[in-house]
Structure 1
Amino acid sequence: CSKLGIHLEERIFLSQNGGMPDKQPCKIFSWDTLKHYNAIHDDFGPMNVLSCIKFVETMDKEMRIMREGGEKRLVYCAAPGKRELTNAAYMLGVYMIISLKLTAQNVADCFQDVHPSLLENYRDASIDEPNFKISLFDCWRGIEHAKTLGWFKLPTFHAPFMWGLVDKDAYEHYDNPLNADLNEVVPRKIVAFRGPKDLADGLDFCNKYHNGTFFNRDFGPGYYAKLFKDLGVSTIVRLNSPQYDKRAFTEHGFEHFDLDFDGRSTPPPQAVTAFFKIVDKAKGLVAVHGREGLGRPAPPLALYLV
């Protein structure tokens, strides 16, 4: 593998395979990006908002230590491989947009000396060869737009846990598959969550095992009904064939709608139109789910954002 050393910003340097700044006192650190992304198949995607927050915090800490130690450069050493370099570039770009106030185009210009063959575009979770991929620039533009909207930005002294409209502690808790497997996708508007199932003996949750090893956790609708009262959810949208009795929600005062469509395809126009109307008329947050993960809700949510 050839050495890579890229000077990104006044004091930030990206290194891979031993490339280092010439004759400059520097502080070196690394961050295992792949452990922060849980793939289903061969999907490869940018890390979530919580990982971005933790990386920005790490960078701020490393920059402070560098200045206090008298070094002139902070060198982020990426592990070997295209995906590790791609993730390193993505996270450094997030830091430069959120903390250094650069634009996505500024960031892209900083990486112009990285040959495209050294990077890998992000792809979906299908088992087939993807026919559409997401570039680093696409992701940086998304971060930049979220910052412009005030959805994702540096916290203030008075609310250190709030990164814009992202509550760091709440995100970390509810994102955990053992707690809810739930994410607020459109702030103060829409949450996506793991599809509930009717469980034996009316259990709130049930752990699943594979070859004697814990695999994941299924939740009953009653578990989410209690949780949604606290979160301010008023409406549930189910995008898959029923795996629970919707009365578990409606008898507790929630609205419930079914918009079933094939999770391996784009949603039909009538389903998208109906989803928009449901969201716009909802009195509180809308909670949307598919069968297992968060894949099926993604297309209608993305269309709503657009």
Structure 2
Amino acid sequence: MDSVIEFVPRVVYYTSFSEGATPRSTSDVLYFSIDRQLLYTNFYLDFGPLNLGHTFLFSQVLNDELSRVKPLGKKLVFYSSTDGKRKANAICILACWGILYNHMTAADAIAPFQKMLHTLPPFHDATPTMCVFKLTVLDCLCGLEKALRHRFLDTATFCVDEYQHYEQVENGDLNWLSPKFIAFAGPHDVYRHTAEGYISLTPEHYVPYFKSKHVTLVIRLNESLYDESRFKAAGIDHLDLYYPDGANPPNDILDRFLAACEATPGAVAVHCKAGLGRTGTCIGAYLMKHFHFTAKECIGWLRLCRAGSVIGPQQQFMEAIEARMWSYKTVAHETESTSRHKVLAPTVLHESSPAKAKSMALSMVKASTPVTANIIVPGRSAIKQTMTLPTRVVPGSTSPLHLPPSSPNKATALKATLRLNLSFQSSKTSSSPTLSPTKPSEATVAPLLESPKTQGDNLRELKHTWSKSPNHKSPTHAAVSRSFGDDHE
């Protein structure tokens, strides 16, 4: 057993025991661990950090237990095994709770553990080879602190069930990384679901969700595997910015990415093949530019949101462009007060030339001819904005179905900027809907692609394989609560 560390004075403590040891709670001390309840599912040599779903689930259970035992004068001792990776994840998730619910800064949250930080391994990227980039627990905490400061998420409205629902491959394999961005795995032309567990969704699977969240632009960073007009038909702009899998974005590609995201009025959905490497790198550049994340803070935050984000040399690339991103100026800086459906004024990079802007505009597949509609922006009076009349292609039909323009619901004023789907139904009342517009049995199954496998293919296949594993199940509140044992007094 390591020494006991006081995290919250006289209330919450941390320690570690040898693997398999289970300390028994007493009338004064309650021991609990999540080593068997909240597990990181790795791609290769990566082992953490535990994601936001895990973090909020842990926090909810810890808060519930604190409200129960604190009046009794009991102490809570959170413990992990002495394995370095287990300790890193345990300390990280406990410190995240401190930031989210105990008004701590990242520095405050890590301070009690200073003497043992040298024993914690840095987090590894999603590769099978040695990682020379050192991402620490503190980097992740600083990323969370900065995201919270800029109101990327709200502890009062974050929904664990929805986070877990949409991260599943059959439900979209998507995560919100900021109020502006969704990262998701790339769609395909045709739906398929193989016996091995591989699932490919189509643009039509995503359109209803994207429209409900005011996504106005989809950016594709990989080669074309679907017809972009299928997003265009739904009133969503589309931009192709291809560069090779596993590579860093060329300057012109990155500048066009930033300019397009700043110009579109709504949210941006970005994908490559797996929605991890290229996707995380480009979105990360935007966050560094607009919110002055350091590269390590940014990568730490992205991996809390979407495990495996930013891979290999992309980590060093983000460090290399950090100063350049901070030096950029924007006409209308996006502030932390941006709500999830706030219409932003178009902005242009100060160094972009008219020729570059024109080139970017020409390469973007625009949606259908705009019509004028009144959009109510939460917290503002009615304003005139340009809005496209969305269309959706009905499966089995050659003609698009026109849908009436929708205005943001009042509930979108909530600061839960990790985007709760308001049509989502909790598993407590009914089963969660998937993104599929048709039942899988009614969808056409496509053959496997015959192209050479890349890093993105491998990562995506690994993630899809998890869905078939009986051990890969989303943790529940009840399961984590059981980590406190049955010997409460």
Which TM-score applies when normalising by structure 2? 0.54
**Partner residue, 1:17:** 17
Between 1:45-54 and 1:27-36, the stretch displaced more is 27-36
Say whether 1:193 aligns with 2:195: no
Taking the aligned partners of 2:78 and 2:198, their CA distance within structure 1 comes to 34
Give SS of 1:186's match: coil
For 2:435, the equivalent position in structure 1 comes to none
The equivalences for 1:1-306 within 5 A come to 3-10=2-9, 11-17=11-17, 25-32=28-35, 35-71=38-74, 73-117=75-119, 119-155=120-156, 162-163=157-158, 167-187=159-179, 189-199=180-190, 203=191, 206-210=192-196, 215-306=197-288
* Structure 1 residue 125: Cα displacement: 0.6
Q: Which amino acid aligns with 2:163?
A: Y
CA deviation map 1:81-131 (0-9, x unaligned)? 1111111000110111111111111122111132512x1111211222112
Deviation at 1:153, TM superposition (A): 3.9
User: 2:195 is aligned with what amino acid?
Assistant: Y
Percent of aligned pairs with the same residue? 27
Change (3 A) 1:14 1:196: same
Letter in 2 for 1:9: V
| Distance change in 2, residues 1:227/1:102 (3 Å) | closer
Preserved contact between residue 124 and residue 133 of structure 1 (Cα < 8 Å) = no
Superposed displacement of residue 176, structure 1: 2.2
8 Å Cα contact 2:246-2:277 kept in structure 1:
no
Residue correspondences, number: 282
- The one-letter amino acid paired with 1:208 is T
Q: TM-score, normalised by structure 1?
A: 0.85
Give 1:228 deviation, angstroms. Answer: 1.7
User: How far apart in 2 are the matches of 1:239 and 1:110?
Assistant: 42
Please list the CA deviations of residues 227-263 of structure 1 after superposition, one character each: whole Å capped at 9, or x if unmatched.
3222211111000011111122122222111111122
Report the Cα offset of residue 197 of structure 1.
0.8
Q: Quick one: higher RCO (CA 8 Å, sep 6+), 1 or 2?
A: 2
Partners of 2:237 and 2:56 lie apart in 1 by 34
The alignment yields a C-alpha RMSD, in angstroms, of 2.2
Where 2:224 maps in the other structure, the secondary structure is coil
1:222/1:283 Cα in 2 relative to 1: closer, same or farther (>3 Å)? same
Change in 2 beyond 3 A, CA 1:271/1:62: same
- CA distance 1:24–1:104, change in 2 (3 Å): farther
What are the Cα deviations for residues 130-172 of structure 1, in whole angstroms up to 9, with x where unaligned? 12121111111111112212223431xxxxxx14xxx544433
Q: Distance in 2 between matches of 1:284 and 1:150?
A: 17
2:57 is paired with a residue whose SS is helix
Distance 1:43 1:15 in 2: 23
Q: Which runs of 5 or more residues in structure 1 are unaligned? A: 156-161
Q: Which runs of 5+ in 2 are unaligned?
A: 289-489
